[in-house]
Structure 1
Amino acid sequence: MSQGTVIAAVDGSAESQAAAQWAAREALLRDLPLHIVHAWQDWSPGFAHAPFTGTETAPGDAAVTRHWAERVPRGVADRLRESHPGLRVGVEQVFGRPAEVLLAAANKAEVLVLGSRGLGALGGFLAGSVSMPVLAHAERPVVVVRAGERAEDERRPGDGADRPARYLDVVLGLDLTRPCDELIEYAFSAAAARGAALRVVHGWDTPIVYGYEPEAADPGHGVAMGLREASALTDALRPWRGKFPDVDVKEQCVVGRAADHLVDASKDASLLVVGRRVRRAAIGTHIGPVTHAVLHHAAVPVAVVPHP
């Protein structure tokens, strides 16, 4: 694997199936190979339900459990090859703690794609106990996909053969108070790959000074601040417009909770891109309140991009 690879984590759940399909489309868009990764653990003693069948294996029967586990990534890869001709697909099953396996995979890839919630029979390793540590510590972008996500949901209705369906906007949530080149570059690249417009949402609030809101005393204060924020957003995006001249950029400065505006924007988008500050602590699952909120409520796949 290399950083020129899209990786999809699978466990047999509906969520991971949707993630694998999204990852396949992303790999084709970016002309990259797709790598299917399945983390496997021996859950004996205990009972394990074989995925897709509901059958039970006896406690301690690790060989049977592993047989069913090995079918998961192979089955996903076979279906993707059939539905996406020309897609380069590799498969890997790794024995180990799922969070550690996925973190190692993420740090070697262009992007790691996860299901938003895992309920797989082999331990549900895409559930919050695993996906949150991966999101919090991955050094590369991670995309989270909900069950039921479909290719047609990402596009506007077409106007016939002459005008095929186009991708909905890519939405970027941008905080101008921190360095974020990695975040901006990912969003522009995603929009360019899709031939989609990039809608950049920057949220801000009027600061409270000495216990009162200046805007309440002087409404013009808020207007002036809004103009300054809009100007700062334009300045931040200017060099990226030059690097991606074919991307149509829509700037949106909004007052209030950024998470609320981003969730609302996701209702008419193909992808939502947000950032996560890089923290070097070995423990903890802090991803920031805005990122946490959109992961729970956004209507589309969410790309979480680490940055300083």
Structure 2
Amino acid sequence: MRLVFAGTPAPAVPSLRRLAASDHEIAAVITRPDAPLGRKRVLTPSPVAAAAEELGIPVIRAARLDEDATGKVAALAPDLGVIVAYGGIVRAPLLSTPRHGWINLHFSLLPAWRGAAPVQHALIAGDRVTGASVFQLVPALDAGDLYGELRYEVPAAATAADVLTTLAESGAGLLTDVVDDIANGTATARPQIGEPTFAPKLTIADGALDWTQPAGRVLDRCRGVTPEPGAHTTVGGLPVKVLAAEPAPGDVPPLPAGRIAATRGGILIGTATTPVLVTRVQPSGKAAMAAADWWRGLRIDDPVAGA
């Protein structure tokens, strides 16, 4: 089939590469415009744009899938639109412009975690199984019929970045299989079953750690917001990012919530249950460092996390 592919961030790149290597033709890639990155704010192509240009595929840069983008897609006469984390909404008439409409690879087991940040919300919620789904795009948010899905058991220490990397690769295979089935006329779709949950884009506030919660909940949030927007707390009123944390060893005595104690390999911070071992931090305005080094240089009397 003749495809149009829409995507922007790195997790969409494996799907683009897999489809480019298939028997299908990608007529064009739609992606968000170049964005300023780094301290020097250098305009940089999206990961999908960079991959498309490497593959020799024409690129349409569009901040919104508006009338102009719709006209460009219509001129290509695609059989199918494929979208993976583009970062915008496909509305009519673009929704029905390809002959078979649009399909979407989404990184959750729908109807769980519809929205922009499914992996992050799944980890924050403590889900131990997640996955990826391919569905028919409809006007309602991530609500279309399912063509296929895969399940993934989340490793205990995996961050959102780890899970996204894995699902991006395995999901690319699932997506390509669905495209093949649509081309062959063998694809079947079923309605989503169950009560939906939603995963809006995370804000900096979502990374704030509440040490009055059980240790498991604190660690779930740490993993779910790593690397973006990042886990953080305050110590003596000063902000500090928590870059790496893990369960404390079993022989560690409990600490009051938020109380900090030095230990080998890091610092212990008390929670509602057992302490959490923090091994790497980044104080405001400074480089990342070992938590033990940061603690030794702290000049605060009786510091408490979250205080």
| Higher helix content, 1 or 2 | 1
TM-score normalised according to structure 1 size? 0.32
Higher RCO (C-alpha 8 Å, min separation 6):
1
TM-score w.r.t. the length of structure 2 is: 0.32
The higher radius of gyration belongs to: 2
More strand by percentage = 2
